Amino acid sequence: MPFLPSLPDNATVMDVLRAFPEPAGPLVDYQQVVLRGPSPLSVGERELIAAYVSGLNACRYCHGVHGAVAEAFGIEEGVLAALLADVASAPVDDRLKPLFAYVRKLTETPGRMAAADAEAVFAAGWEEKALYDAVSVCALFNFMNRIVEGFGITAPDSYFAVAARRLSSDDGFTAYRGPVPRDPE
């Protein structure tokens, strides 16, 4: 049950954004650019970072939704769980491992970030834009996890696939604007 009395009992992030449309518009625009704009990281990789950060934060809602979206964009089932268990042995391209180590440290101990963390990303062959995009996704999902947890937003497992279908469609983010029919829960 959400913490805002004006929201329905089965509120989703969309309900929060619709309830407060003025700040939601720029946030949705930012999400669109960060998650779907041009990047050296694929959409699936950025969604995987979103789900990974959410898993680190124990935000079940964002972890479930964005894990399902990552899979919709080609990330194999089980990769997210493997990353959360141990980045070094996870079945991802070795080039991605320093990026995941970076966002883990940025999420868990941001005051301990050092030039060596960025150097490891560059040594793996990534350009500055890739690090910028990974940090942007990390920051966005630390923010979104606080929105979700701060307002008491939860969802059943069955919701994740519904949300993933919407967010993996061409107009997935535009659904946040204006009156949109509620997703079946």
Q: What is the pTM of this model?
A: 0.91
Taking 50 as the pLDDT cut, the residues of the chain under it are: 177-185
Q: What is the pLDDT of residue 1?
A: 87
Res 184: pLDDT: 41
What pLDDT, on a 0 to 100 scale, did the predictor assign at position 173? Answer: 57
Q: CA torsion angle for 39, 34, 145, 162 (degrees, to 10)?
A: -90
pLDDT (0 to 100) of residue 32 = 94
**Cα angle 124, 44, 50; round to 5:** 85
Superfamily in which the 13-175 domain is placed by CATH: AhpD-like (1.20.1290.10)
Contacts of residue 75, defined as CB under 8 A and 6 or more positions apart, other chains included, come to 44, 45, 47, 48
| pLDDT for the residue 172 | 58
Closest CA to 61 of 49, 74, 50: 50
In this prediction, residue 169 carries a pLDDT of: 83
Per-residue pLDDT, 154: 95
Q: Which residue has the tokens 């604007």?
A: 177
How far from chain centre, in Å, is Cα 137?
Answer: 7
- Helix (H) / strand (E) element for 118: namely helix 115-123
Helix (H, G, I), strand (E, B) or coil at 26: helix
Predicted local distance difference test score (pLDDT) of residue 179: 42
Tokens coding 178:
């204006």
